Amino acid sequence: MRESCSPSDQILYNVITVQKELSQLFDTEMDGLSLTRYDILSNLNHVGPLRQRELQQRVDVDHAAITRHLKQLETQGLIARERCLQDNRVIYVDLTELGRDKIAHWTEQKKCLSDRLFVNMKVEEQQHLLDLLNTLQHNIQHERKTLI
């Protein structure tokens, strides 16, 4: 892939690389908190208690993955889970006090990192990059739909 010359190939290759390096950077910078777990906690922080199912859709990983992450986060005391009384199948997930403290700290840390990653990029450029990425994402989703 690295060998190919067309810009489109290089873009695809670059997206993969950036994601890989970004994840690693994130992990080391955030005391070992993975991007996925940050995403889980961040979602809970913004939109209060959530059903596991809803959280799974927002974070966009498998059911199984969510279950296992939440199990971990629960033993770390960052989140609490509670069965719904009306419907005994669903489990509501929310941050604990500790979780709320921690995520506040991590959010700050992430913002700091984010600032450093975009120092030399003007806001219009950022917006442009975002638009282009959105176009690409849209195309990918379209392809996936026509495939199924």
Interaction between residue 56 and DNA (CB under 7 A): yes
Number of CB atoms found within 10 A of residue 79's CB: 25
Q: Which of 26, 29, 49, 65 binds DNA (CB under 7 A)?
A: 65
State the minimum distance, in angstroms, from the CB of residue 3 to DNA.
18
List all residues 6 or more positions away from 49 whose beta carbon is below 8 Å from its beta carbon: 92, 93, 94
State the minimum distance, in angstroms, from the CB of residue 136 to DNA.
19
One DSSP character per residue, 15-79 reads HHHHHHHHHHHHHHHTTT--HHHHHHHHHHHHS-SEEHHHHHHHHT--HHHHHHHHHHHHHTTSE
Q: How far apart are CA 41 and CA 71, in angstroms?
A: 13
List all residues 6 or more positions away from 128 whose beta carbon is below 8 Å from its beta carbon: none
**Closer to its own copies at the Cβ: 38 or 79?**
38
Interaction between residue 14 and its own copies (CB under 8 A): yes
Interaction between residue 19 and its own copies (CB under 8 A): yes
63 binds, among DNA, its own copies, none (CB under 5 to 8 A by kind): DNA
Chain residues in the site for its own copies (CB under 8 A):
1-4, 6-12, 14-25, 28-29, 35, 38-39, 42-43, 46-47, 58, 60, 113-121, 123, 125-130, 132-137, 139-141, 143-144, 147
